[in-house]
């Protein structure tokens, strides 16, 4: 690995390198595999071929990225083919709009692609066994959507212009729509898929407008040219047009990464099969927002308040999601809220200025959150769709489930940011930056982050102690023995041989322990979470530069690369925290928060579960406290608020418009105009009554009238 | 032998042929043998075809020019038009004149009684009326004009009364006759006043006198009132407001083949008469001494006459279209449509001079073809021996009479002015003429009116093609004789085929419209630039 | 001789002409009013004849004014046409009478819109 | 030139052949006729010299039809009209093929009128003479009305009559405007000539007031056809009642006549009037986008929903056209072609399930993915194309239209000052969100979700969990000799949809060749607008500041038509 010379703050200029076109294969391979899967679907292939094809294509694209990483010297711009580009000129001035299919490879891209394709491969292997109950049409459709997702994600990350980013952005939205709605015979899944796509679409509008704003001000949407224009202070007028750019891009990021205004779709996205939740709604897709802000970081400094807003929304989402996560009973819902909360941390990191912290936390989070989801998936797979933590207990004692329990334990430790785990260091980096900033609100956010860390530790281990520890007790879920496939195969039911109806029959049901594919992937992910911590360990113990820090520093996501960094760390007064130096203070408070959370969870959810119910009962009895638990269980009624404010008002508006269009505009106005000649006709009808004399009189009258009019005109003319 | 006749008589050879034909047909109508009586319409057609052939031979340009006519070449376009349409009108009526009588005689229930047979007279009067219309083009003085107009309308009164059976034709005849007589008196009085003011009956002399008056201090009051009365009198012939009230009753009462005749021949004759009279007045306009003493030459008719025609045009279009919307009877609706089309034609009159007259005659060609096609389709159908009258009879005609349904649809679309049909080209040539006379307001009125006409013509299109057949429409059968169907098909196809020849027709009309060079004292408006 | 006759005649023309015109207009008006008011068909026809005569009188007056004989020729033609119409009118009236046994014109009003 | 006339005449000849030939061979003759016409047009397009020059081909004098009135039968294409003609010719055979099983009685008339409709649309696109355009434009009404009135749904005659009269009144205004323009040309050059280039040359030199009224009249005529907001009420009724192929041609070719009319007549001929009325039209199209999207949301009838969605989409297309910069105009023209493809395909899909279930009501029907997976995949593909998913054709048009509207204020970037601005784009963007919403709701109801079949068919599906019964669904409900359709798409139906899918994908991934072809035309279209927009803005600014020294008389006006 060539030594990454620490570059100066300015963003390195991209070099045109058409010979690196083979890196484009990393993007096109998933597309090929999606075509193959579609063909398998059309030809009704029953074998596991689609899974194999997808896994191979992802593994090879991972290899390509690794090779590109090894051969990486500096940012490179690789054109592939012309997509949307045309020019026009009026009176000498020459204008153009180019959006070609080309790649922009710099450290940030490689950093992202590594874990996207890596996790993609692992999760595809996991899914090959997880979905095998669904072989045939469902299987092909599943892997078709997975390959489309990975093509879109790589297009998003690798693309060299914002239009490619937008293509990837909506592509991943489509893939998540197809995958959430995989069990399309469940209305809740279909509704969740629609909700996800529409919420993403609202974010995409913000992104689109941001792209137009960028093009309006800089005349180009290609990163290399944008950074050049930015660094040479190229923007034309610093008015609301320019400063609106960060806020619009932010809206896009929050839509995709499920932050405060647009986060309600992620928990519902858990309707999809678990590998989907792991890959898309935990590890890769939701990080697209972080990538966007990291990629266009210099533009977020155009407006002083932009980064502060990101920080505040990140911190706020973290806290809110943590509070909701505490009160959920469905394991996947808890992990979903924890994802939102961890994403909140990443945005907090971006907001306060440490792109390294945010990106490193993304990496660590991707691994351990995928691990947790896959573990939950294994449980769900085994216990016929049972995910309620009140109905599962003591899993680690059940034979065949030890690997799942202990790998889940590793995941929970990482999620709770137990001291000296990889997540601890990444979260520490974020909170360090927050607490050591000279802005009071950032420091407040830092403390808020610490509180959320405690809550996170609590609800993580609440799940673990409930499910894996304690006496062995479980009830089968209502799903068919496996939670996928709308119409399960007749042969599968016979093979299981048990009666799928009576959930309450305890003795007859014994869990279906996961086989090598699932266990293997879980172990690899656990090891991965460990490995991902190595750069942090080297930084702390060997005082080398953290690998992730080098990668991010080398890319465009560098703090203050453009503007003069006004709030550079004035080394003069070392920021202190609780009297101690920030570093030591943070490690002490952080670890105590984590351990405290775990102990509280241990006490309530393992030691004496009855106490937990008693406390809840007392809270409910006190009216002024009673609303808290219910509100938390109902996700602070955010969904209902959205429903009332937006959906129902628009629904009523639409009904009124529909009624108005059909009855007022169509029936009254249009038919009314058509009736005017008919009405006139009825006015003149009596003139034709049939009497001879009547006609004669009217004719004579008519002649007299016309003569009078003619003479009046004549006299008037003659004067 | 022909060139030995004086040029003016030589021009009248076609009319003489028609006269002779009329006499022969009248006499043959009395023959006992059924074959002869049945052959009458074909003899009439033969006579008409003869006149068409004779026309180009006799109506040569040099002879026309030195015949001192007001519009020398008009006859060369109008006469063949009238003769051709006359042929179709005759074929339309084959088999329906005296049908009841002929059937009862054939079945022996009644002895043949020469007194009661009317077929011979019908075709004789038809020929006479056509002759009148042809004579009109050669008018050189007011007497000739008055006689020609009377010769057109008198036979039609009888045709209406004689053509059919039952009380309805007679009621139509009485209304038509009395109101016709009244309108004749009106325009006769107009002639008198015009004669009084200009002092001569010769059309050329009148034109020069009026031009002299215009050059002086404007046309004097007497002439103005006279012309106004003539125009209003002639409005009866062309069913224009205010003299249009007879049309609905007469068209509905008269038998279909007579209504077809009424809707075309008097209208053509009426507009030719109006063109002749207004040519005397001249579209060169009149000079108004502007306040600063400068003589400003304004194109168009003198303001009062232009005002009359403007009012007549707008009212006719609107009342015609509006009246047609409510009708349940097809023939009555065709009456209102004829009123509406007269309204559009008056637009051409206002435009006048070169563009207006050509547009009028192109429109008359198109109008003739369209209405004859519609009436022929109606005449070729009957319900229990009675004529087709109500729309409900036509519902679902496509099922049993597909060809007639398509002819009705095509002619209705052409009447509304739908593009590929001749009606559209006629209408835009009229609008172009109106633009030439700076009549933007009238064009907008005409545009809105043709949009309104879309309502009832669409009903005439969709009822036969699309509407489900009703109990009444099942009883609709075709008339024994095939000729009305032949007419309908030929005229229906003509509405499309003619549109390809629209250009040629317009040019022919243009050459016909040029008026005679006036005496050098007043400048005659130049040829079309 | 003829010049003196014509010159003599012209001297008196303008004064008398307006009287003749007034009478012709009166005749025309009476005919019109008679046509509109009277119900009997024969009387109605007579009224149209009256209107014709009004026009003829006007024609003669103008011929006299202009000392131009063509006006009077026109009158002769008017009379012939009026005669033709008379024949036609009476034939029609007889036909109608045979149908409806009455000469009242209001009987004939079934056609027309209710 | 001959090739153009051949491609226009071929469908008419085929129609006559269909009318004369036996009913059984009607379908095949119609298909052959339309394919030949497509072949002739593609042959012409192949060696079309003016792909990048934006000029008209073939130019030059043409046969005079009505010499007196200056109407000449001159025919010629520029790239935009050629593309739209190709779209129509491309869709004709597909529609004929698509309506094999739909039309069972009065077959000969159906295919006859359908071919006549196709040739009349081609004539309208090919016309270089204003009256010839009017003839083609107006005559499309007759076959369309007959097709809807004879082969349509329950109350088809009301819908057909309303469509005919509404569009007829609209086109009357347009005719009056064209004739007035011909008259102005007559005054200017002494003779009547309706050649479009000649008329444009005269129209541009008219004083601003007459250009204002000219633009207004043309706009009313074309707004009825495009269905812009207040004049759109006839479209949902017509679509609801039209047979499948009828509503495909109505949506993809007839509506394009309206937008093409704007492109050819309203915009180039009245720049001064256009610049002033631009705000009004832009606001109307924005209302159309939001209004129609909201109504789509509550529609229960699938076809009406797609009808309202095409009103909304064409509203965006018009917005792009009136952004008055090359980006917007190109996006609008590109959008015209795409809308034809994707909405046409959607109507075909809906027709296919209508033929099987005889109901379009989305409450009664649902979850067809299980019963008809191939149809479901096509339906999802085309819905995503019309939502504007990147990579498919809808996106490029949408993106450029929105971009053009957004850029209208930043004339630094586009070099063309515009009247619209970011706020227009933001509101239009909301419309796009609604587009995603209502189309996905439609998908959610029809394609996804539990299988709900109308009661008539419940009896036939013996056991719902078993795979589709090998034999087709017995359509007892309908007339006896209805052809039995397989449960999922038959080969014929797939053959109809695949070319459309390929076209959508190809245009989505490779729009550049078409964009390059369009750009010279749009530049020629907008050549007068920068000056006019600056004038309007100057006046607007002057009126705001109340200063009255701004010259009221327009620089471009001349005392041309004083007598």
Q: How confident is the model at residue B493 (pLDDT cuts 50, 70, 90)?
A: very high
pLDDT for the residue numbered D563 = 36
D68 contact residues in B (CB cutoff 8 A): 355, 358, 429, 503, 506-507, 510
pLDDT for the residue numbered B27 = 92
Instruction: Write the CA distances from D71 to B357, B367, B426, D140, integer angstroms.
Output: 19, 21, 13, 20
Instruction: Write the CA distances from A448 to A418, D282, D379, D463, integer angstroms.
Output: 18, 48, 48, 58
| Contact at CB, D449 and A666, closer than 8 angstroms | no
Domain boundaries, chain A: 15-219+240-486+516-566+573-583, 689-719
Q: How far apart are the first and last CA of chain A?
A: 105
D175 contact residues in B (CB cutoff 8 A): 428, 447
Count Cβ neighbours within 10 Å for each residue of B185-215 and write b for 16 or more, e otherwise.
bbbbbbbbbbbbbbbbbbbbebbbbbbebbe
A47 φ, ψ (degrees, to nearest 5): -80, -175
Q: Testing the interface with B: which of A675, A680, A681, A683 to mutate, by most B Cβ within 10 A? A: A681
Closest-CA residue of A relative to B230 is A703
H, E, C per residue of B3-57: HHCCHHHHCCHHHHHHHHHHHHHHHHCCCCCHHHHHHHHHHHHHHHHHHHHHHHH
pLDDT averaged over chain B?
87
pLDDT for the residue numbered A280 = 82
Evaluate whether residue B526 is within a structural domain: no
Spatial distance between the Cα atoms of A298 and B245, rounded to a whole number of angstroms? 85
Of A688, A690, A702, the CB nearest to B242: A702
pLDDT for the residue numbered D465 = 35
Report whether pLDDT(D432) > 80: yes
Instruction: Tell me what percent of chain A is helix, strand and coil, each rounded to the nearest 5.
Output: 70, 5, 25
Report whether pLDDT(B94) > 50: yes
| Averaged pLDDT for residues C78-85 | 94
pLDDT for the residue numbered B529 = 35
pLDDT for the residue numbered B157 = 93
Which two tokens mark B214?
């215009």
Q: Any chain A CB within 8 A of the CB of C48?
A: no
Of D66, D168, D182, the CB nearest to B454: D168
Tell me which of A119-128, A150-159, B70-79, D476-485 is least confident: D476-485
Spatial distance between the Cα atoms of D335 and D87, rounded to a whole number of angstroms? 12
| Averaged pLDDT for residues B465-484 | 87
pLDDT for the residue numbered A718 = 65
pLDDT for the residue numbered B89 = 94
Evaluate whether residue B239 is within a structural domain: yes
Number of domains in chain B: 1
Which two tokens mark A602?
């241990």
Q: How confident is the model at residue D305 (pLDDT cuts 50, 70, 90)?
A: very high
| Contact at CB, B228 and A687, closer than 8 angstroms | no
D58: preceding bond cis by omega (within 30 degrees): yes
Instruction: Write the CA distances from B302 to A234, A241, A405, B242, D234, integer angstroms.
Output: 72, 66, 108, 21, 46
Report whether pLDDT(B525) > 50: no
CB B23 within 8 A of CB B17: no
Spatial distance between the Cα atoms of D540 and D561, rounded to a whole number of angstroms? 27
Q: Any chain D CB within 8 A of the CB of B429?
A: yes
Q: Testing the interface with D: which of A81, A86, A209 to mutate, by most D Cβ within 10 A? A: A86
B479 φ, ψ (degrees, to nearest 5): -70, 145
Which of A178-192, B284-298, D337-351, D429-443 is most confident? D337-351
Q: How many CB atoms lie within 10 A of CB B276?
A: 23
Q: What is the number of CB-based contacts under 8 A between chain B and chain D? A: 98
pLDDT for the residue numbered B108 = 81
**DSSP H helical ranges for B112-245:** 119-137, 142-163, 167-198, 203-215, 221-237
| Contact at CB, B189 and C74, closer than 8 angstroms | no
| Contact at CB, B242 and A692, closer than 8 angstroms | no
| Contact at CB, A709 and B312, closer than 8 angstroms | no
Q: Which ipTM value was assigned to this complex?
A: 0.84
Q: What is the number of CB-based contacts under 8 A between chain A and chain C? A: 28
Q: Any chain B CB within 8 A of the CB of D62?
A: no
In terms of Cα–Cα distance, which of D185, D270, D183, D186 is closest to D221? D270
Q: How confident is the model at residue D547 (pLDDT cuts 50, 70, 90)?
A: low
Q: B382 - beta bridge partners?
A: B387, B477
Report whether pLDDT(B434) > 80: yes
Q: Any chain A CB within 8 A of the CB of B335?
A: no
Of B157, B172, B178, the CB nearest to C44: B178
| Contact at CB, B154 and C109, closer than 8 angstroms | no
pLDDT for the residue numbered B193 = 92
pLDDT tens-digit map of D35-70 = 999 999 998 888 888 777 777 777 766 777 877 777
Sign of the Cα torsion D415, D419, D420, D421 reads positive
pLDDT for the residue numbered A355 = 83
Count Cβ neighbours within 10 Å for each residue of C64-78 and write b for 16 or more, e otherwise.
bbbeeebbeebbebb
Of A677, A692, A702, the CB nearest to B322: A677
- For residue C39, give every residue at least 6 positions away whose Cβ sits within 8 Å of its Cβ, in sequence order, or none: A693, C104, C105, C106
- In the stretch 243-262 of chain A, residues with CB closer than 8 A to chain B read none
| Contact at CB, B455 and D168, closer than 8 angstroms | no
Per-run averaged pLDDT (10 residues), chain A, 719 residues: 40 73 84 88 82 90 88 82 72 70 85 88 86 80 90 89 88 88 85 88 88 81 82 59 83 88 87 85 85 86 83 90 86 89 89 84 88 87 81 81 86 86 85 83 87 89 84 74 38 38 48 79 86 82 77 70 40 60 81 86 79 79 79 81 85 89 85 89 86 90 90 77
A678 contact residues in B (CB cutoff 8 A): 325-326
pLDDT tens-digit map of C36-60 = 998 899 999 999 999 999 999 999 9
| Averaged pLDDT for residues D266-287 | 88
pLDDT for the residue numbered A90 = 61
Domain boundaries, chain D: 2-455+485-545
Q: Which domains does chain C have, with CATH numbers?
A: 14-103 (1.10.287.3510)
pLDDT tens-digit map of B24-53 = 999 998 888 888 888 999 999 999 999 999
pLDDT tens-digit map of B250-260 = 999 999 999 99
**A167: closest CA of chain D, how far (Å):** 5
Q: How many CB atoms lie within 10 A of CB A491?
A: 7
Tell me which of B278-282, B390-394, D405-409 is least confident: D405-409
pLDDT for the residue numbered B126 = 94
Of A685, A696, A713, the CB nearest to B303: A713
Q: Any chain B CB within 8 A of the CB of C42?
A: no
Q: How confident is the model at residue B102 (pLDDT cuts 50, 70, 90)?
A: confident
pLDDT for the residue numbered A705 = 92
| Contact at CB, A699 and B243, closer than 8 angstroms | yes
pLDDT for the residue numbered A563 = 38
In terms of Cα–Cα distance, which of D382, D380, D402 is closest to D393? D382
Q: Any chain B CB within 8 A of the CB of C77?
A: yes
| Contact at CB, B242 and A698, closer than 8 angstroms | yes
Q: Testing the interface with B: which of D66, D134, D145, D243 to mutate, by most B Cβ within 10 A? A: D66
Of B154, B170, B326, the CB nearest to C95: B170
Spatial distance between the Cα atoms of D239 and D251, rounded to a whole number of angstroms? 8
CB D37 within 8 A of CB D11: yes
Q: Testing the interface with B: which of A671, A697, A699 to mutate, by most B Cβ within 10 A? A: A699
Note whether D touches B: 3 CB pairs or more under 8 A: yes
Subunits with at least 3 CB pairs below 8 A relative to chain B? A, C, D
Q: Any chain D CB within 8 A of the CB of B467?
A: yes
CB D52 within 8 A of CB D81: no
| Averaged pLDDT for residues B55-62 | 84
Q: Any chain D CB within 8 A of the CB of B450?
A: yes
| Contact at CB, A693 and C32, closer than 8 angstroms | no
D441 contact residues in A (CB cutoff 8 A): 194
| Contact at CB, A699 and B325, closer than 8 angstroms | no
Note the Cα A551 to chain centre separation in Å. 23
Q: Any chain D CB within 8 A of the CB of B507?
A: yes
Q: What is the number of CB-based contacts under 8 A between chain A and chain D? A: 154
| Contact at CB, A205 and D299, closer than 8 angstroms | no
Count Cβ neighbours within 10 Å for each residue of A299-322 and write b for 16 or more, e otherwise.
bbbbbeebbbbbbbbbbbbbbbbb
Evaluate whether residue B199 is within a structural domain: yes
Of D65, D135, D172, the CB nearest to B447: D172
Evaluate whether residue B504 is within a structural domain: yes
């Amino acid at each position: 690995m060539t030594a990454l010379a620490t570059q100066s703050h300015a963003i390195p200029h991209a070099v045109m390198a058409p010979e690196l076109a083979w890196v484009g294969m990393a993007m096109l391979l998933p597309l090929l595999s999606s075509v193959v899967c579609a063909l398998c679907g059309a030809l009704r292939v029953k074998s596991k071929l689609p899974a194999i094809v997808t896994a191979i294509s992802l593994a090879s694209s991972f290899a390509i990225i690794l090779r590109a990483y090894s051969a990486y010297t500096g940012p490179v711009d690789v054109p592939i083919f012309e997509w949307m580009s045309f020019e026009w000129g009026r009176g000498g001035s020459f204008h153009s709009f180019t959006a070609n299919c080309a790649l922009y490879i710099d450290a940030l891209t490689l950093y992202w692609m590594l874990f996207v394709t890596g996790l993609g491969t692992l999760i595809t292997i996991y899914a090959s066994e997880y979905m095998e109950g669904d072989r045939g049409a469902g299987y092909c459709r599943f892997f078709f959507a997975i390959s489309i997702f990975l093509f879109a994600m790589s297009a998003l990350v690798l693309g060299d212009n914002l239009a490619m980013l937008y293509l990837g952005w909506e592509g991943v939205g489509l893939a998540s729509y197809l995958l959430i709605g995989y069990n399309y015979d469940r209305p809740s899944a279909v509704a969740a898929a629609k909700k996800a796509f529409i919420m993403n679409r609202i974010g995409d509008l913000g992104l689109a407008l941001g792209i137009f704003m960028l093009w309006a001000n800089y005349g180009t949407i290609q990163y290399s040219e944008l950074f050049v224009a930015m660094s040479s202070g190229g923007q034309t007028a610093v008015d609301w047009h320019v400063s609106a750019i960060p806020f619009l891009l932010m809206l896009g990021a929050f839509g995709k990464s499920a932050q405060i205004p647009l986060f309600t779709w992620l928990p519902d996205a858990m309707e999809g099969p678990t590998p989907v939740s792991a890959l898309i709604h935990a590890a890769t897709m939701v990080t697209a927002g972080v990538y966007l802000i990291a990629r266009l970081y210099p533009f977020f400094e155009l407006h002083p308040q932009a980064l502060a807003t990101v920080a505040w929304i990140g911190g706020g989402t973290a806290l809110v999601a943590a509070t909701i996560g505490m009160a959920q009973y469905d394991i996947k819902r808890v992990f979903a809220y924890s994802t939102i909360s961890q994403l909140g941390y990443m945005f907090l990191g971006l907001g306060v200025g440490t792109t390294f912290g945010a990106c490193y936390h993304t990496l660590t989070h991707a691994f351990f959150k995928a691990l947790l989801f896959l573990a939950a998936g294994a449980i769900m797979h085994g216990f016929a769709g049972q995910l309620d933590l009140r109905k599962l207990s003591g899993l680690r004692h059940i034979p065949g489930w030890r690997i799942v329990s202990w790998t889940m334990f590793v995941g929970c430790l990482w999620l709770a940011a137990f001291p000296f785990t990889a997540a601890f260091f990444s979260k520490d980096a974020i909170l360090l930056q927050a607490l050591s900033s000279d802005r009071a609100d950032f420091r407040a956010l830092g403390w808020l982050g610490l509180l959320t860390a405690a809550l996170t530790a609590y609800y993580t281990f609440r799940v673990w102690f409930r499910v894996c520890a304690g006496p062995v007790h479980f009830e089968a879920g209502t799903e068919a023995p496996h939670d996928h496939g709308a119409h399960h195969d007749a042969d599968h039911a016979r093979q299981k041989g048990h009666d799928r109806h009576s959930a309450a029959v305890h003795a007859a049901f014994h869990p279906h322990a996961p086989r090598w594919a699932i266990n293997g992937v879980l172990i690899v992910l656990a090891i991965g979470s460990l490995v991902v911590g190595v750069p942090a360990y080297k930084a702390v113990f060997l005082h080398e530069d953290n690998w992730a820090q080098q990668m991010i520093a080398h890319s465009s996501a560098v703090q203050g690369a453009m503007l003069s960094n006004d709030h550079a760390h004035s080394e003069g007064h070392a920021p202190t925290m609780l009297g101690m130096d920030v570093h030591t203070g943070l490690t002490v408070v952080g670890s105590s928060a984590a351990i405290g959370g775990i102990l509280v969870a241990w006490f309530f959810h393992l030691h004496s579960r009855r106490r937990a119910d008693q406390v809840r009962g007392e809270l409910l009895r006190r009216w002024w406290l009673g609303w808290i638990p219910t509100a938390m269980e109902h996700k602070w009624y955010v969904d209902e608020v959205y429903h009332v404010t937006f959906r129902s008002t628009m629904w009523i508006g639409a009904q009124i418009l529909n009624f108005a269009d059909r009855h007022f505009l169509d029936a009254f106005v249009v038919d009314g105009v058509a009736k005017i000649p008919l009405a006139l006709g009825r006015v003149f009808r009596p003139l034709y009554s049939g009497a001879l004399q009547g006609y004669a009189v009217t004719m004579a009258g008519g002649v007299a009238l016309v003569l009078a009019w003619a003479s009046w005109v004549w006299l008037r003319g003659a004067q | 032998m022909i060139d030995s006749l004086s040029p003016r008589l030589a021009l009248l050879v076609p009319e003489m042929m028609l006269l002779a034909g009329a006499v022969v047909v009248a006499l043959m109508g009395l023959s006992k043998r059924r074959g002869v009586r049945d052959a009458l319409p074909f003899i009439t057609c033969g006579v008409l075809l003869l006149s068409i052939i004779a026309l180009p031979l006799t109506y040569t340009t040099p002879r026309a020019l030195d015949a001192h006519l007001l519009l020398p070449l008009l006859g060369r376009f109008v006469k063949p038009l009238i003769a051709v349409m006359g042929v179709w009108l005759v074929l339309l009526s084959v088999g329906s004149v005296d049908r009841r009588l002929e059937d009862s005689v054939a079945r022996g229930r009644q002895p043949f009684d020469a007194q009661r047979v009317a077929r011979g007279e019908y075709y004789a009067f038809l020929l006479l009326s056509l002759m009148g219309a042809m004579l009109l083009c050669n008018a050189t003085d007011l007497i000739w004009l008055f006689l020609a107009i009377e010769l057109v309308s008198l036979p039609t009164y009888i045709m209406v009364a004689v053509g059919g059976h039952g009380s309805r034709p007679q009621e139509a005849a009485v209304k038509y006759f009395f109101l016709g007589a009244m309108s004749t008196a009106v325009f006769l009085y107009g002639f008198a006043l015009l004669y009084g003011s200009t002092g001569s009956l010769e059309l050329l002399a009148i034109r020069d006198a009026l031009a002299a008056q215009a050059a002086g201090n404007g046309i004097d009051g007497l002439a103005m009132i006279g012309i106004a009365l003539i125009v209003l009198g002639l409005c009866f012939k062309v069913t224009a407001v205010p003299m249009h009230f007879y049309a609905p009753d007469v068209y509905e009462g008269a038998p279909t083949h007579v209504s077809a005749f009424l809707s075309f021949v008097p209208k053509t004759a009426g507009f030719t008469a109006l063109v002749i009279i207004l040519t005397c007045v001249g579209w060169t306009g009149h000079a108004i001494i502007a306040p600063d003493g400068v003589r400003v030459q304004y194109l168009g008719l003198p303001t009062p006459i232009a005002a009359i025609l403007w009012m007549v045009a707008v009212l006719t279009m609107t009342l015609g279209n509006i009246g047609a919307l409510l009708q349940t009877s097809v023939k009555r609706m065709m009456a209102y449509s004829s009123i509406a089309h007269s309204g559009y034609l008056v637009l051409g009159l206002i435009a006048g001079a070169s563009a207006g007259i050509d547009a009028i005659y192109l429109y008359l060609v198109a109008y003739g073809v369209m209405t004859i096609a519609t009436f022929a389709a109606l005449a070729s159908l009957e319900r229990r021996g009675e004529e087709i009258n109500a729309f409900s009879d036509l519902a679902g005609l496509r099922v049993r009479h597909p060809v007639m349904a398509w002819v009705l649809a095509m002619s209705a679309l052409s009447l509304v002015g739908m593009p590929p049909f001749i009606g559209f080209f006629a209408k835009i040539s009229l609008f172009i003429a109106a633009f030439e006379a700076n009549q933007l307001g009238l064009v907008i009125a005409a545009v809105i009116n043709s949009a309104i006409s879309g309502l009832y013509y669409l009903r005439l299109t969709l009822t036969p093609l699309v509407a489900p057949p009703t109990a009444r429409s099942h009883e609709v059968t075709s008339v024994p004789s095939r000729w009305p169907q032949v007419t309908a098909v030929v005229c229906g196809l003509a509405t499309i085929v003619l549109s390809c020849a629209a250009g040629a027709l317009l040019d022919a009309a243009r050459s016909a419209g040029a008026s005679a060079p006036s005496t050098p004292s007043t400048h005659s408006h130049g040829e079309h630039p | 001789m003829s010049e003196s006759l014509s010159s003599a005649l012209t001297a008196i023309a303008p004064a008398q002409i307006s009287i003749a015109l007034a009478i012709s207009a009166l005749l025309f008006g009476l005919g019109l009013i008679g046509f509109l008011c009277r119900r009997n068909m024969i009387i109605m026809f007579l009224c149209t004849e009256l209107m014709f005569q009004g026009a003829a009188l006007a024609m003669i007056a103008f011929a006299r004014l202009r000392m131009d004989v063509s006006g009077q020729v026109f009158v002769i033609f008017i009379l012939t046409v009026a005669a033709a119409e008379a024949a036609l009118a009476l034939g029609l009236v007889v036909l109608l009478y045979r149908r409806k046994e009455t000469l009242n014109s209001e009987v004939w009003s079934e056609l027309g819109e209710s | 030139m001959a090739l153009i006339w051949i491609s226009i005449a071929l469908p008419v000849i085929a129609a006559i052949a269909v009318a004369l030939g036996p009913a059984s061979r009607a379908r095949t003759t119609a298909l052959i006729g339309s394919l030949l016409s497509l072949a002739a047009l593609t042959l012409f397009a192949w060696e079309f010299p003016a792909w990048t020059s934006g000029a008209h081909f073939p130019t030059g004098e043409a046969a005079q039809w009505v010499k007196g009135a200056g109407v000449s039968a001159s025919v010629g294409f520029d790239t935009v009209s050629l593309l739209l003609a190709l779209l129509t010719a491309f869709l004709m055979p597909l529609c004929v093929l698509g309506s094999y099983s739909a039309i069972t009685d009065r077959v000969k008339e159906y295919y006859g009128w359908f071919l006549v409709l196709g040739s009349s649309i081609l004539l309208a696109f090919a016309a270089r003479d204003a009256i010839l355009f009017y003839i083609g434009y107006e005559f499309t009404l007759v076959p369309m009305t007959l097709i809807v009135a004879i082969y349509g749904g329950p109350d088809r005659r009301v819908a057909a009559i309303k469509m005919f009269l509404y569009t007829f009144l609209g086109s009357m205004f347009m005719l009056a405007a064209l004739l007035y323009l011909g008259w102005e040309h007559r005054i200017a050059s002494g003779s009547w000539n309706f050649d479009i280039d000649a008329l444009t040359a005269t129209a541009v030199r008219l004083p601003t007031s007459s250009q204002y009224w000219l633009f207004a009249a043309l706009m009313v005529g074309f707004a009825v056809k495009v269905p812009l907001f207040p004049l759109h009420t006839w479209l949902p009724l017509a679509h609801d009642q039209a047979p499948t192929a009828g509503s495909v041609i109505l949506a993809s070719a007839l509506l394009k006549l309206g937008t093409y009319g704007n492109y050819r007549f309203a915009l180039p001929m009245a720049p001064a009037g256009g610049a002033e009325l631009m705000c009004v039209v832009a606001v109307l199209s924005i209302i159309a986008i939001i209004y129609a999207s909201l109504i789509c949301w509550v529609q229960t009838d699938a076809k009406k929903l797609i009808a309202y969605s095409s009103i909304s989409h064409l509203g965006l297309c018009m917005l792009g056209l009136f952004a008055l910069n090359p980006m917007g105009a190109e996006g609008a023209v590109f959008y015209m072609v795409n809308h034809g493809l994707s909405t046409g395909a959607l109507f075909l899909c809906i027709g296919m399930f209508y033929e099987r279930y005889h109901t379009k009501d989305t409450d009664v029907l649902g979850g067809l993915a299980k019963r008809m997976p191939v149809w479901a995949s096509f339906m999802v593909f085309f819905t995503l194309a019309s939502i504007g998913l990147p990579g498919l054709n809808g996106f490029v048009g949408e993106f450029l239209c929105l971009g053009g509207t957004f850029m209208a204020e930043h004339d630094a970037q586009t070099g063309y000052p515009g009247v619209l601005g970011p706020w227009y784009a933001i509101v239009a963007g909301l419309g796009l969100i609604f587009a995603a919403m209502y189309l996905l709701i439609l998908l959610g109801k029809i394609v996804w979700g539990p299988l709900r079949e109308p009661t008539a068919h419940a009896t036939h599906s013996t056991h719902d969990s078993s795979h589709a019964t090998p034999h087709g669904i017995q359509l007892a409900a309908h007339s006896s000799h209805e052809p039995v359709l397989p449960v999922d798409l038959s080969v014929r139906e797939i053959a109809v949809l695949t070319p459309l899918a390929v076209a959508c994908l190809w245009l989505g991934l490779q729009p550049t060749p078409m964009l390059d072809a369009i750009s010279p035309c749009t530049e020629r279209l907008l050549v007068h607008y920068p000056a006019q927009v600056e004038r309007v803005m100057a006046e607007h600014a002057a009126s705001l500041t109340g200063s009255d020294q701004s010259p009221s008389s327009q620089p471009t006006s001349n005392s041309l038509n004083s007598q």
